[in-house]
Amino acid sequence: HTLSHYYLYPQPSKVHILQVTSAHSLALIQTMPRMLLVVLAACITAISISNYFLLLQWSPPQLSGRFHLQNTSRSTNFAFKDLSTFSVDILSVASIDRPDLIEAQQRTFASHTSVRNFFVATELDDADPECHKHLTWEHVVNISNFCRERRKGLSDLFRYMRGQYARVQWLEKKTNPRGWMCAQSRPYSGLIKAFNHYRDHDQELPHYFIIMDDDTYYNMELFQENFEIQNHSVPSIIAGCLVRLPIHQVNFTFPFGGFGVILSQGALMNLFQPIHCEEGSGNSRWTGDARCDQLSKNLVDELHHFHNGMNLAELMYSYVSLESYRNVNNWTSGYCMHSDWVGGFFYNFYNVSRHVSDTFYANVPHARIEAYHGSEIYNTNTGYCKNEKACSNRSAICHRPSIEWMELETTVLEANLQHKFLPRQGTLE
């Protein structure tokens, strides 16, 4: 139960089965001799301890985040299927060093009945699962120098982004710069993990899919109120906090990862739709749909990662993982983007979502990410972008709240909406 709960939050039926089993066990225990009870208690304690450490290391073999390009022919065409109830899947981009945060997310907002699957991506899902152990400060400095110095012949957008990427002075201020660097591919390892699950288990795509950090809180009751009335089949991507780069320099937006990014079912379908391009003639290198045209522009050096038949999620995963950080001294193109920028680029330029409704960007075809209730970072922080650490009660989103605050928020919601929350893990009624 513990292992399945860690990957997919249990359905009410599973909780019910656990309760019945516990009642029967209690009756059995009352009939046991005292010495046998002592031995049984010792065994249970040992198993619990071993399961805890197994929990931190476990990753379902069939859902491994390590994706091999030769398997891209298994990409699936998904069709819309109406789920009977409002359904949200969550991907928490996490770390094995912070299991308390993952557990807190599961106990609190992920216990809301709208949450169907709770996916977790950690170091063990990275393409290089040993990165966090063996990446050195020298590696980190070499990565920064490679990305910032090799900018000739790049598109204006990519040249600007690489110039801003991972300055050594900025990295030196981080608590764990090596861990931060290794984590930049993790959201897309997690996305592939989810894709593999939907494909291999023939599971319907959720109404909405949220990618967030392990230190992020979402009020799922407010989320359901806001999104249940929306048309989930329309491809839309909403950033919990949208970052706008200086418009006079480069017109580019991306979601601030700590506040999460929300993908509708329609957007997921666009991400998981196989791409088939054919060799063109004349001035056209590729022919096919609009994604082939975008590939031919090769704005961020993504073209050499593409193989016919792969989908955008697979392309993004290849882009962030093909050349490992530890092999920086042998890089040819490398991986020179913040994880948030990768999402911003592919979501915007590959038309994963419909165009934004803001008329100011009517003539910007790659404006595809909406801001959740107008929450943006440009000149100042607006909306939910202000919700960091100290958040008010009933906040829709909070980044880096305390675990105690998350527990209290959930307790208050449960008091009035008990039927909307599953029993907390580890508690029996």
Choose the weakest-confidence range: 31-40, 122-131, 182-191: 31-40
Indicate the pLDDT class of residue 44, thresholds 50, 70 and 90. Answer: very low
Three-state DSSP at 311 gives coil
In whole angstroms, give the CA distance from residue 375 to residue 381. Answer: 8
Residue 402's Cβ-count burial label (10 Å; 0-12, 13-18, 19+) is middle
Segment 36-40 shows an average pLDDT of: 51
139, 326 in Cβ contact below 8 A? yes
| Chain mean pLDDT for the chain | 81
In whole angstroms, give the CA distance from residue 112 to residue 224. Answer: 10
Give the rounded percent of residues in the chain with a pLDDT score beyond 70: 77
In whole angstroms, give the CA distance from residue 117 to residue 88. Answer: 7
163, 337 in Cβ contact below 8 A? no
Indicate the pLDDT class of residue 31, thresholds 50, 70 and 90. Answer: very low
Say which residues have a Cβ less than 8 Å from residue 117's Cβ, sequence separation at least 6. Answer: 8, 9, 89, 90, 194, 197, 206
Q: Which CA distances in Å does 206 have to 60, 200, 209, 233, 266?
A: 21, 15, 7, 10, 10
Segment 244-252 shows an average pLDDT of: 80
The yes-or-no verdict on residue 80 having pLDDT over 60 is: no
Q: What is the pLDDT of residues 193-244, one digit of tens each?
A: 999 999 999 999 999 999 999 999 999 999 999 999 999 999 999 999 999 8
CA 20 distance to own-chain centroid: 35
Q: What is the pLDDT of residues 344-387, one digit of tens each?
A: 999 999 999 999 988 888 888 889 999 999 999 998 999 999 99
Segment 129-152 shows an average pLDDT of: 92
What is the pLDDT at residue 285?
A: 55
Q: In 58-98, which ranges are continuous DSSP H helix? A: none
30 compared with 68, residue with greater pLDDT:
30
Q: What is the pLDDT of residues 263-307, one digit of tens each?
A: 999 999 999 999 999 876 444 455 567 899 999 999 999 999 999
CA 263 distance to own-chain centroid: 10
